[in-house]
Amino acid sequence: MTDAKRDMLRHAIATVAYRGRKAVDNAPDSFATFRSSDSSRTPAEILAHVGDLFDWALSLARGEQKWQNSAPLPWTQERARFFDALSAFDVWLASDQPIDASPEQLFQGPVADALTHVGQIALLRRLSGAPIRGENYFVADIVAGRVGPDQVMPRREF
């Protein structure tokens, strides 16, 4: 994989971290178990799935192809797991280890799916009565490698 493709994947992961932190931070205690309908997943179930996506992405990069369906942890622990899974995948991409999957497939599968689910969590925040502010993400300070819960403040919210 070329460095440019690795760098783009790392930037995409940092984007998931930035948007994900905004979607999960400062949510009320009841948010983790909120359901918009009887058949919908809770935010904790969705976040657990996102953690599974990045565990899967790392297994794909290592050539192991391993999937698991994790039961959601308590919200604080699930939030930490989300950032830990992002970090583990980012560390692998930042290393000189070979990547045993195409960057395009890694993006179109687990990374793009994670972006969709982060959007679902943000939507559920609004439906649950705890909306987050919109933001001009084009000007956000998103940097490859910054994949933890400590993100910079938004530059332009509305």
pLDDT tens, residue by residue, 117-128 = 999 999 999 999
Residue 19 confidence (pLDDT) above 70: yes
Give which of 32, 22, 20, 57 is closest to 131, Cα–Cα: 22
Two structure tokens written together for 76? 């604080």
Confidence of residue 2 (pLDDT cuts 50, 70, 90): low
Q: How many CB atoms lie within 10 A of CB 7?
A: 15
**DSSP string over 36-62:** SSTTSPPHHHHHHHHHHHHHHHHHHHT
Q: Where are the domains of the chain?
A: 3-139
Fold adopted by 3-139: Four Helix Bundle (Hemerythrin (Met), subunit A) (1.20.120)
Kindly tell me the burial class for residue 14, based on how many C-beta atoms sit within 10 Å of its own C-beta (0-12, 13-18, 19 or more): buried
pLDDT tens, residue by residue, 29-86 = 899 999 999 999 999 999 999 999 999 999 999 999 999 999 999 999 999 999 999 9
Place of tokens 């084009």: 138
